[in-house]
Amino acid sequence: MSPKTREDLLRRFARVDDPEIEARSQWILQALLAHSPEVKEQLIEQGVEKGIERGIETGQLTEARALLHRVLARRGFTPTAAMETRIDACSELDTLHRWLDQAMTSASAEEALA
């Protein structure tokens, strides 16, 4: 396919505010997928894999946060509101694990989250 044809297709299938044009684009896409079941299956598999990965990752983050809160509470530490926000906003599993490890031996909540 020539670069010009490729550009034309991308321009024609760009999202638009006109619902009628958008409906036509969606119909064409569905027709193409109906004639290419292999591509449709690949897209479904990729979506399922990503969903599973995100679910596992989200579950691990939630569990690590809960464990960190529990260890801090068991150690008698009362994190400030800012610390609580920092823990709940953390999306790095490695960081949460490091904080959890530090919380087990630290002298304060501040030290645990250093």
Looking at the chain, the number of H-run helices and the number of E-run strands are 6, 0
User: pLDDT, tens digit, for every residue of 19-36?
Assistant: 888 888 888 888 888 888
* φ/ψ (deg, to 5) at 109: -65, -35
- What average pLDDT does this structure show over 41-62? 76
Q: What is the pLDDT of residue 51?
A: 67
Distance CA 86, CA 64 (A): 13
Distance CA 112, CA 114 (A): 6
Encode 49-87: b = buried (16+ Cβ within 10 Å), e = exposed.
eeeeeeeeeeeebeebbeebbebbeeeebebeeebeeeb
Q: Is the pLDDT of residue 18 over 90?
A: no
